[in-house]
Structure formats: structure tokens, C-alpha cells
Amino acid sequence: MVEPRIAVAVVTMGNRPAEVDALLESVAKQDLAPARIVVVGNGCALPDLTSRLALPGEVTAIDVDDNLGCPGGRNVALSRLRAFGDIDLVVELDDDGLLVDVDVLRRVRDLFMADPRLGIVGFRIADEHGETQQRHVPRIGGSDPMRGGYVTSFLGGGHALRLEMLAETGDWPGAFFFAHEETDLAWRAADAGWRILYAPELLLRHPKTSPARHAIYHRVTARNRVWLVRRRLPLPLIPVHLAVWTLLTLARTRSFAGLRAWFGGFVEGVREPAGERRPMRWRTVWRLTRLGRPPII
């Protein structure tokens, strides 16, 4: 069996130069060197990486004039990797993450080689104290972050994708900019028969954060959730999903300003075009339910 060739992609806004250097240095220490490294400057000009860092493989820096958001920046990296034509897997990492272990890329390669229908591998994200936030466990409730297995979604901060899968499902939903892009991609992958694996042995160290730190969080989260279900769910499940999610939001959100922004985003999601509608099949609904997360939650 031919070993798949791995690339590493990082998207940065240029405001974390020290963290990006540390991340790339951790990539350089891997016992399996990536064939290519692509760094996207999302609305910023990147410094000369090769003159400051001893990096393996071929390094490509791409400056993008405008900030395209997380999914848009990742699509830029994927487009460049496809142009090279020699990559099978891409590991995408947050610019403030760190690969603690030196065998992460080798383990990624072995997982994909062992399962030809494995499309996505999600990493475990933990802070410097080894703690994983509940929102970073791709299961409902307070599941053990060390329990791996097949799941229905994955973490955007650290994951690996098979390019063959993306050729079938399509890339990231660039219009989302931020929030729920992972779920949109995961649902498309599941509907096409690809598997998603949560592999807690693949660790990305990442500072503990709250998504609400972003000023656009409440509005964009609401807009994208509405877009997500309009694009991907069978019609009978759309009102059920939105009703459950609205009740959870009202119960959890303590900020009046946050709720006002959330309702504004909800209305925007209803009024604005959501993009191509490609609802999942009912057998995919059942598959996601059997994996522990029916697509109404």
C-alpha cells in the first residue's frame, strides 16, 4: 500500500507571531515530516518563515488581502495544495495550538491507512494543564475526553482531512466565516458515507478560551445555525432542531446584549440565502443518531 502524503495547513491573522513560530517548530519536530506546509495570512502579510525557522518539506506562505474567516482561509490552503497535486491528507491546526508529541503526523497517517473510508480525524484539544473543555468533546454531555471512537463532528482547532473525501463533499462553507463550519462539513461527509474519528491520543495543546470572546459570536452563531439546518436537514427536522436550539440558547445566555445579537443573527439566517440546499438522507439521520447525536440537538 502506498503511504499517503501529508501536508500541514495553518491560517493566521498575523496577531500571534510567537505562537505561530512555536507551532511550526512543533511541526518540524515530528518524526514523520510533512511533504508540504502551507501558511495563510488571513488579511495580513506574512513574514519570511523559511529564514527564521528550520522547517521540513516545502513551505508555502500565502498572503490574502481580506480576512476570509476560518473556513475561507482554510479553503485558500486547500486550493493551493490541490494545485501541487501530490497531497493526500491535510492536517489543519489553529495558529495558537501546539503539537506536544512528536508522533502526531505518523499516527494520523496510520489511522487513514487502516481505514479507507475514514474521511476526518479530530484531535483532542487540551490546555497547558491537560484539561479539555466540555465544548471540545465531540459528544453530548460531559463525556470522557479520553474516550475515542467514531463521532458525528470534529474540532476545528486540530484535525486531519482526506482530500479524496473533500473532492466528493466539497470544501469548507466559506460564507460561514466563523462558527458551525465543522458541523456543515461533517454532515456532508457522513451523508457521503465517510467516517469521522475522534482520536484523543492526537493532542493539540491550546489555551483555554471562550468562543464568546469574539465580538461577532452571538450574531454569527445564530445566523450560521439557521443556514446549517436550511442547507443540510430534511424539512421536517428543521423546525425541531431550531426549536430545541432556541430553548437551549435562552436557558444558557445570561447577557441581554448577547440575546439581542443572537435574535438579529437568527433573522439574518432566515432572510439571507443559505447557499446550496443538499439535505442529508434519512439513513444518515439514523446513522448520526446511532452514533449518539441525532441532528436535532
Give per-residue pLDDT as tens, 118-168.
999 999 999 999 999 888 899 887 679 999 999 999 999 999 999 999 999
Q: What are the boundaries of each domain within the chain?
A: 6-209, 212-290
pLDDT exceeds 80 at position 270: yes
pLDDT exceeds 60 at position 215: no
pLDDT in the model for residue 253: 85
Give per-residue pLDDT as tens, 59-72.
999 999 999 999 99
pLDDT in the model for residue 212: 54
**149-150 vs 195-205, strand pairing mode:** antiparallel
pLDDT exceeds 70 at position 214: no
pLDDT exceeds 80 at position 34: yes
pLDDT exceeds 70 at position 249: yes
Between helix 181-191 and helix 217-232 the angle, nearest 10°, is 20
Helices marked H in the chain: 17-28, 49-52, 69-84, 104-114, 163-169, 181-191, 217-232, 237-252, 256-271, 282-290
How many CA within 13 A on the CB side of residue 252? 9
* CA-CA-CA-CA dihedral for 240, 241, 244, 248, to nearest 10: -170
Amino acid at site 137: V
Average pLDDT, the chain: 94
**Least confident piece of the model among 46-55, 230-239, 249-258, 261-270:** 46-55
pLDDT in the model for residue 49: 81
Amino acid at site 126: A
Q: What is the mean pLDDT of residues 5-14?
A: 97
Nearest-5° Cα angle at 81, 207 to 136: 25
Share of the chain above pLDDT 90, in %: 85
pLDDT in the model for residue 2: 83
Q: What is the mean pLDDT of residues 81-106?
A: 97
pLDDT in the model for residue 153: 96
CA 128 to the chain's CA centroid: 21
- Cα-trace Rg, the chain: 19
pLDDT in the model for residue 111: 98
CATH architecture of 6-209: Alpha-Beta Complex (3.90)
pLDDT exceeds 80 at position 1: no
